[in-house]
Each structure stands twice: as structure tokens, then as C-alpha cells.
Amino acid sequence: MGTTTVLKARPARPPSAPEPSVPRQTGRVPTGPGRRRRRAGMLMVAPALLHASLWIGLPVVVSVGLAFTKYDVLTAPEFVGLANFRDMLDDAVFRKSIVNTLLYTFFTVPFGMALGLLVALALHTGLKARGIFRTAVFLPQVTATVAIALVWLWIYNPSNGLLNTLLSFLGIEGPAWLSSTTWALPSVILVGIWQGIGMKMLIYLAALQSLPKELYEAASVDGASRVRQFFSITLPLLKPATFFVLITSMISAFQSFDQIYILTDGGPANSTTMMTYEIYKSAFREFRVGYASAQSLVLFVLLMGFTLVNKRIMGGSRGHN
């Protein structure tokens, strides 16, 4: 089935896992005049490989190397051992950014997933207008985060933005959403949930449509209620999709930057700063490139850690189809 073949070979799979997408021997059997063929193959991979080596491979190596140096771009890097990592422990703002990143992730991802699943279930019932609804929900996903953040900046505008105008109709005086230390982070989180629902809905919808219908027929015959069917059949069968959505949305939540840059600049009083924003600040505003590399290494390790923990808890992504 199209969806499943594509979905199962997901990026989240570690290289060590057995590669399942080669069930057949097609194209893998060395046939014909092998040498010319092999040379052609190498030639065809070469440009992409060269590009990836220079713009992904080399950067990763450089990044790890620089994390142990003091470097300001102008003078040569100087090896400082673990000093950057020690500095990070004393850096209250960076600690704050870790907390904020985690908060942002823990609110946008599960809430977004629940909403995405609900919308997907509603669309899966085969309504006539489902195409329109799906398009509406998915629209924010194709729009640039910068554009979205600018619109929300205007919606959150304290004096005459949409939100406070609507609240004033109800006789409520809304706060200055983005310049209040209490409301800024929740406001940013709300935008994150809003923008991310579309993607989560879409993956769930694709997964729902590949579920075997016979199971539901059997369950109906046995007299299982719709709610019961959802919890005993749908939810367990959606586990691989849930894992996929969880991992991918966590990765992107951890790396949110554009919305912070536009909406709050990390403020007020660092109440919305994120790890990515701190990395950007260290590198491009304070020119502490070594320190920024160390910070990005921490981001990478945290992300990997969360991915592995999730894989453990969810029992991995395998086992469907």
C-alpha cells in the first residue's frame, strides 16, 4: 500500500535497523555487464554525495570540534577543553532556554497530536466537505512561519489586535500578550499548536485509511461500542503513526526559531527564549562561536536522547504492516 511503504521507511529509523523496504530482489541483483553499470551508479550518486559531504558531513565534524574551542571567527580557534560546557552550567539564561524549549515541546506536541487525531477522526468519517476542511486545517503548514508569526504578532497586539478587540466585545480587557512575562510563553505555544495541527492530522488521516476494515466489522458484530472500538482497535493500531508523529513533531518543536525571532526576540526577560535562539545569539550576536557549537551539541544530544527514550517506551516504530 502506498502510504505504508512510504511511511515505514521514515527518517527516524536508525541505520542499524534492518532495512525493510527491499522486500524484493529487484534492482539489487547484479545483472548484465556489471562494471559499466556500477561505474554509472557511482557517477550518479557522486554529486549528491559530494554536496552532502560538504554541507552536512563537514559541518557536523566542524561543529563537534569547535565545541571544545574558544573562537570568535576573527582569531584562530583556541582549544579550551570542556570550558564551554562548564560555562553552560553557570549560564542561567541557557538553563532558562532549556526549560522553555521543554515546556514548548511538551505543550505543543501532545496537545497538537490530540487535536490532530480528533480532526483526522472527524475527517475519516467520509463527509462530503472533507476536502475543504482538510485544506483549511493544513493551510498554516504550507505558510512560512515568519508570515504566520507576523499575523499573530498583529492578532496579539494589545491595543487593537484581533484578540483584544474580540475580548473587549465581551467586556474583558486583555493583557499585553507578548510583553507580559506570564502570557508570552503561552501565547507562543498557542501559535505552535495552531500551526502544527495540520501536519499531525494529515499523518493520522493517512494511517487511519490504511487500517483493516474487517476488524471493525467483526467488532460491530460482537457489539462493541464506537468508543470501545476506538480504544481497543484504532488507538493500538495507530501506534506506529503516533510514534512517527511524536518523533517528527518533537524534532521540529525543539528547533523552533522563526516564531521566537518574530514574536518576542526571546523576551520579555528571557521568558520565551529557546535553545535555538540562544545558539543564534551566542554565535551571531556575541560571536562566541565555540560556545554556540557546544550549545548546539547539547541540543543534538537532548534530541537524540528523547528520540531513543520514546523509541524505548513506544517499542519502536516497527511492527505495523
Nearer to other proteins, 88 or 289 (CB): 289
By CB under 8 A, tell whether 172 contacts other proteins. Answer: no
With contacts defined by CB under 8 A, name the span among 79-87, 124-132, 171-179, 308-316 that binds other proteins: 124-132
Cite the DSSP H helix spans in the chain.
2-8, 34-52, 58-66, 83-90, 92-124, 130-142, 145-155, 162-169, 184-208, 213-221, 226-229, 235-237, 239-254, 258-263, 275-284, 289-314
Q: At what angle do helices 145-155 and 184-208 cross, to 10 degrees?
A: 130
285 contacts other proteins (rule: CB under 8 A): no
Work out which of 20, 131, 315, 319 binds other proteins, going by CB under 8 A. 131
Contact between 165 and other proteins by CB under 8 A: the answer reads yes
Q: Is 314 in the site for other proteins (CB under 8 A)?
A: no
Selected binder of other proteins within 109, 183, 280, 281 (CB under 8 A): 280
Select from 18, 28, 223, 312 the one that contacts other proteins (CB under 8 A).
28
Look up residue 129 and give its three cell numbers: 466537505
x/- mask, other proteins, residues 79-98, rule CB under 8 A, reads --------------------
Instruction: List Cβ neighbours of 9 (8 Å cut-off, separation of 6 or more).
Output: 19, 20, 21
Q: How far is the CB of 81 from other proteins (least distance, A)?
A: 20
Q: How far is the CB of 30 from other proteins (least distance, A)?
A: 5
Which amino acid is it at 104? Answer: Y
CA angle 202, 207, 213 (to 5 degrees): 135
Set of cell numbers at residue 55? 554541507
**321 part of the interface to other proteins, by CB under 8 A:** no
- Using CB under 8 A, which residues numbered 219 to 238 contact other proteins? 219-220, 226, 229
